Amino acid sequence: MNDDIIKIQGLSKHYHGQKVLDNIDLNIVRGEFLTLLGPSGCGKTTLLRLISGFENPDSGTVIINGHDVAGIPPHQRHVNTVFQSFALFPHLNVFENIAFGLRCQNISTPEINSRVREALRMVKLSELSQRKPHQLSGGQQQRVAIARAVVNQPLVLLLDEPLSSLDYGLRKNMQIELKQLQRQLGITFIFVTHDQEEALSMSDRIAVVQAGRIEQIGAPREIYEEPINLRVAQFIGQVNIFDTDIIEINDKALKVRIEGRELDLENRRGFRADQHIYTLIRPEDIKVWDETEVTDTHNMLPATVEQVIYKGSTVDLMIRLPSGRLIAATEFFDEDDDTLDYERGEKVWVEWYPGWEVLLPHE
Amino acid sequence: MNSDRLFTRFAIGINAAWLTLFALVPIILILIVSFLKPDPNFFVLMHFSPRSYLTLINPIYLKVFARSLLLALITAGCCLCIGYPFAFILAQLKTRFKPLLLLLVIIPFWTSSLLRSYAMVILLEAHGILNSFLLRWHIISQPLHLLYTNTAVLIGLVYCLLPFMILPLYANIEKLDLRLIEAARDLGASHLQAFGKVIIPLTLPGIISGTVLVLLPAMTLFYIPDLLGGAKSLLLGNLIQMQFLYTGNWPQGSAVSIALTVLMSLLLLLYLRLIPKAQRSQPL
Amino acid sequence: MMNRASKTVYIMMIYGFLYLPILVLCIYSFNNASYSSLWHGFTMKWYAVLLQDNDLLRVVIHSLTISTIAATTAVILGTLAAVALYRYHFKGKQIFLGSIFVLIILPDIVMGIALLILYHALHIPLGFWTLLIAHITFCLPFVIITVLARMSDFDENIFEAARDLGASEAIMFLRIIVPMLLPAIIASWLLSFTLSMDDVIISFFVSGPSYQILPLYIYSLVRLGIKPEINALCTIMFAVTLVLVTCSQILFKKKL
């Protein structure tokens, strides 16, 4: 008996002849915080709606807690949804909004009262139970929406871009609160977002969805540091991509040509000689040296500083290579180091920590 | 799922049945009756006859038709000329009294036209307030005989139907982004060009809805000529009313109604053809 | 194009045009003279005359009965239709909506004679029932369109949320949709009632001598000329419209 609470197999969905989801397989582990991350229109919300039961798949199965849920209406699936627009009932007060699901199940009034009060305490809204939704702030409405869903003790909570209508500062706070809430409740969360930062900071696992397919699924760090293809790498974070020719392979060592210079890299993926590959390197993994600081220019590329953008804790550099192309580099301030002083037009050498690059084959 | 469908069937079914029985069937009946022969003992004889339609081409009928249409067009024209600037100014106003000002247009919209026509009679009558006022200030020396003229009917129609022009125009102009005028002016358009090339095309849905809402009643409000005077068969509405109640020629009255309905359909088609779907304003 | 002052003068003039005749009518209803445009002092006697007119009172009761039943029936049927139109897809939906639209702009006189022909063909004597059916029929499309327009402003997720939380169709209708629509429902009831109380043209064709209603009674009076008690009656009618329409507009604007 494995511990997958949801198993999705071969799920496909069309709208008006357009393929929205294409043969999705996905297992969701009990108690995890899984994020479906992708650009708008990639099918992530549709996937959520197939799990919740608001839509029916064209083919494939959804198994929740060991039961195939085909044909089972949303409220009998033991999953609840928190909507992007919150969808609070405008004519009911906070207490009645939260109690709605319990009342539908004909639960006794004393139990409803105690469970709603508990939910209110959990989302810190005990004082506001008599308010109407329009008398609440965005963050408070958000909490009511969450309380209204979790009070039903669902096996899985589905959250459809729940933070996207909040402003930046509030969104940061709610991210932390949501994560705490999930730990406290031990409920499986499936969270849909297009915000990679949100996904990276909250999730146990991220599934990157693009054009109706799951491109990669894994821990945030894995997704960020070991993207499986260019699409994932480009969607998550900023990345510099170099066309790379393999010149020579010597066991684990790789001699390549990037931007006309020969570099030594590690061969971790079993590439063959004469293969064209991509070298991916994140801006923050790039080191930029002043010409005068460098004696040995092995594994480095010559470049010119084009633009310096001061960001407080970091400096972002736009650097032009001799070929004419621009790359991005991010340098972190260090209390003890005052050499982070770049000027436009300054000649520099660029390198990265060996092994921090990602090599991907051409597709 | 099942209860959804049951509910839909019930909700739509009962309404569809009602409207079929009491709107669609009766309208088809008009069409049928218009092709039958009149019965001198009221109602109709079950004999096919296109005579009612042939009579329509008779110059007497054509004259009424043309006169009624002309009067309706003049009414719509007057309402547009008076109502457009009004709606424009009202939509642009930035005051906290705006809801109140709008309400003051909505109230006449819902007030009985009969009541408002009667109020107009009081105003226009020979010994009425308008004449007393004009005489006292020596603007005229003899009381004006406005009442019981065609002018009075026109004034009455414009008075009754003006809100039906203003409200669709207002709804349309209010949604208009006024920065468009500034943008057009900025790009070198004169006031007149900005108005003709930007404002008019964008408010066309409102203009047409308003015109339709004015034109049709203006041909059928039979009690306005009845109260305010003028020739009694001035409007198509009076003609239909006479056919049914006094002459007893139901097929003829039906044929006139069918002609009116055809005119309405033409106006509707014009609206659908001219205005892209996204711009159509909600019917009031 | 126009300066502020001329704009103000213009809209004041139009408001003057819209309200002056009604205002004069109201003032005359308190004038202590039978046939004069001059002011002969304030009196309530014309209103007193109305109260003693048994014919009038009977007609008023008839009208109130018809309008109340017609508005209520139309609002119930129309709300059901609007909810079904908004929430479900079914064959013929566009045709149904199209017919509603056509019925709204169909000239009253055509609907009046259409119903007259129907009643005649079915040998239904003109009276209470024929009037009631006609009034329900012309209020119905109006209610459907108004309630539907209001529903279109709602967040669709609210209905999904209710379903997600286990609401059955009955609970959804009674505990979510109807309470949320209540202001719009009451407002369209008030306007249907107004529409019904004011209708002359359709009622003219489908009423019989056995059941007279107020707008036709007023019509028969005003054809005979100006009388101070008609002024008083019209003033009351206008005041009722004023109150009903103002209430309905406040309800339309109301946020829950």
pLDDT of A272 > 80? The answer is no
The confidence score (pLDDT) of residue B233 equals 59
Topology, domain A4-235: Rossmann fold (3.40.50)
Least confident of B50-54, C9-13, C58-62: B50-54
Residues 6+ apart with CB under 8 A from B178: B92
Identify the CATH homologous superfamily for domain A240-287+296-361. Nucleic acid-binding proteins (2.40.50.140)
Report d(CA C131, CA A6) in Å as an integer. 62
Provide, as residue numbers in chain C, all residues whose Cβ is less than 8 Å from the Cβ of B112.
197-198, 200, 215, 237, 241
- The pTM of this model reads 0.83
Tell me whether residues B4 and C245 touch, CB distance under 8 A. Answer: no
What whole-number percentage of chain B has pLDDT above 90? 32
Neighbours of A231 (CB within 10 A): 16
Distance from CA of B154 to the nearest CA of C (A): 14
CA-to-CA distance for B42 and B243, rounded, in angstroms? 11
List CB contacts of C102: < 8 A, sequence separation 6 or more: B268
- Which neighbouring-strand residues pair with A62? A8
Question: What integer pLDDT is reported at residue A337 of this predicted model?
Answer: 61
- Across A35-52, average pLDDT: 90
Please report which confidence band the pLDDT of residue A335 belongs to, taking 50, 70 and 90 as the band edges.
Answer: low
Contacts B119 to C, Cβ<8 Å? 21-22, 24-25, 234
Structure tokens at A317: 């550099």
Question: So what's the ipTM on this one?
Answer: 0.89
Measure the CA–CA gap between A360 and A241, rounded to whole angstroms.
10
Q: Please determine, for residue C5, whether its predicted confidence score (pLDDT) is greater than 50.
A: yes
Measured at the CA of A278, the angle between CA A273 and CA A282, to 5 degrees, comes to 135
Domain extent listing, chain A: 4-235, 240-287+296-361
- B:C CB pairs within 8 Å: 238
Cβ burial of A323 (10 Å; 0-12, 13-18, 19+) is exposed
The proportion of chain B whose per-residue pLDDT surpasses 70, expressed as a percent, equals 92
Contacts with C, A 283-312, CB within 8 Å: none
Q: A101 vs C165: CB contact, 8 Å cut-off? A: yes
- Find the mean pLDDT for residues B117-128: 84
**CATH annotation of C52-253:** 1.10.3720.10
Record the tokens describing residue C214, joined without a space.
């107020």
To the nearest whole Å, the CA of C220 is away from the closest chain A CA by 47
| Confidence check: pLDDT of C36 > 80 | no
CB contact under 8 A, C164 and A134: no
User: What average pLDDT score do residues C13-31 get?
Assistant: 92
pLDDT band for B283, please (50, 70, 90 cuts).
Answer: very low
* Complete domains list, chain B, with CATH: 55-279 (1.10.3720.10)
Token digits of residue A355:
């092994």
| Helix, strand or coil, per DSSP, at residue B153 | helix
Choose the closest CB to C109 out of B82, B118, B220.
B220
What is the tens place of the pLDDT at every residue in C149-175?
888 888 889 999 998 998 888 888 889
Interchain CB distance below 8 Å, C200 and B220: no
pLDDT of residue C26: 92
How far lies C41's CA from each of B126, C31, C48, C180, C200, in Å? Answer: 22, 6, 16, 50, 33
Mean pLDDT of C220-236: 88
Q: What are phi and psi of A272, to 5 degrees?
A: -100, 160
Q: How confident is the model at residue B280 (pLDDT cuts 50, 70, 90)?
A: low
Domain ranges of chain C: 1-43, 52-253
In this model, does residue B193 exceed pLDDT 90? Answer: no
Give the model's confidence band at C124: pLDDT under 50 very low, under 70 low, under 90 confident, else very high.
Answer: very high
Between C55 and C35, residue with greater pLDDT: C55
Query: With pLDDT > 70 as the criterion, what percentage of chain C qualifies?
Result: 97
What pLDDT score was predicted for residue C84? 87
Quote the pLDDT of residue C76: 95
pLDDT, mean over chain C: 90
Q: Which residues of C77-87 are buried (b: 16+ CB within 10 A; e: fewer)?
A: bbbbbbbbbbb
Closest residue in C to B251 (Cα) is C117
Which residues have a Cβ under 8 Å from the Cβ of A16 and sit 6 or more positions away?
A: none
**With contact defined as beta carbons under 8 Å apart, do A209 and A48 qualify?**
no
Q: pLDDT band for B234, please (50, 70, 90 cuts).
A: low
Q: What is the pLDDT of residue A244?
A: 86
